[in-house]
Amino acid sequence: MSFSTANVIAEPYHFTQGTAPLLISIPHAGTQLTPEVASGLSDAALPLSDTDWHIPQLYDFARSLGASILVGQYSRFVIDLNRPADDKPLYTTATTGLYPETLFDGRETFKPGMTPADTQRQQYLDQIWQPYHQKIQSELARMKQESGYALLFDAHSIASVIPRLFDGRLPDLNLGTNSGASCSPALSEILDRTCQQQTRFSHVLNGRFKGGYITRAYGQPDRDIHAVQLELAQVNYMEEIEPFSYSPDKAAELQVLLRQLLEGMVDWGTDSYKQGAG
């Protein structure tokens, strides 16, 4: 596994600004490590298997829709951008925290005695987590000022079978709206119906994955900010074993549905706010 390290934290994210009031957040695709994390990872963690592999490539088509795209550059093993700064658990079932101590399969993330010091982790919070969230906030504010509303799509993926987290195989598409609290019911219905109108991919709304911190914190439909999380089963666009290769033919088929979902969000926003009924 190839990854890079840096003594000084720089460029915690990569951002491209679009023209539509749609922000795609990709917090877990990063593979960059700090030196202390790189030297402390267990053999089980070294492949960085819990990464949301290839998500920026999968969603690259969204630029043509005018979406802004924000991609975290550091591995979630450094700090998890989709967890709250106070590290309060988001789920009552098995999960991982702001500084993951275990992998999704339950094995240890770090070798004994090799977890980063509290001072180092505070640096990660200040210099990686905070800038990412400040960018989300500023971009949503810009969109709302320009268009009267903002749409946030938090893009994730995960291995299709992880017994520690869920039974059996995960549905192909797992939409989360914080049990309906993070976006308009009308938008949620459009996304759900879009998935129902096809038969290739299975889906669920607010199942095991209801949305992480980003969806819950920024989805405020009463303030005209609508947030949705999509957790994809990786088997539909890549190989789930090392070297975690991208599968262009599989991805192309999935991208048809992803485009429909994003277009549905953009069209809903345009129609709703043009009518003054967001």
Domain range summary for the chain, segments of one domain joined by +: 13-274
Helix (H) or strand (E) holding 213: helix 213-218
Over residues 243-259, the pLDDT tens digits come to: 999 999 999 999 999 99
**pLDDT tens-place values along the chain, 278 residues long:** 445 555 557 799 999 999 999 999 999 999 999 999 999 999 999 999 999 999 999 999 999 999 999 999 999 999 999 999 997 766 555 567 899 999 999 999 999 999 999 999 999 999 999 999 999 999 999 999 999 999 999 999 999 999 888 889 999 999 999 999 999 999 999 999 999 999 999 999 999 899 999 999 999 999 999 999 999 999 999 999 999 999 999 999 999 999 999 999 999 999 999 855 44
185 upstream amide cis, omega within 30 of 0: no
Encode 64-93 in three state secondary structure.
HHCCEEEEECECCCCCCCCCCCCCCCCCCC
Residue partners of 66: CB distance under 8 A and separation at least 6: 18, 19, 20, 22, 266
- Spatial distance between the Cα atoms of 254 and 239, rounded to a whole number of angstroms: 14
- Spatial distance between the Cα atoms of 234 and 221, rounded to a whole number of angstroms: 30
- Spatial distance between the Cα atoms of 21 and 144, rounded to a whole number of angstroms: 7
Task: Determine the CATH number of domain 13-274.
Answer: 3.40.630.40
Q: 162 with 105: CB under 8 angstroms?
A: yes
Backbone angles phi, psi at 180, to 5 degrees: 95, 0
Side-chain half-sphere exposure of 268, counting CA atoms within 13 A: 24
Q: 249 with 196: CB under 8 angstroms?
A: no
- Spatial distance between the Cα atoms of 73 and 127, rounded to a whole number of angstroms: 12
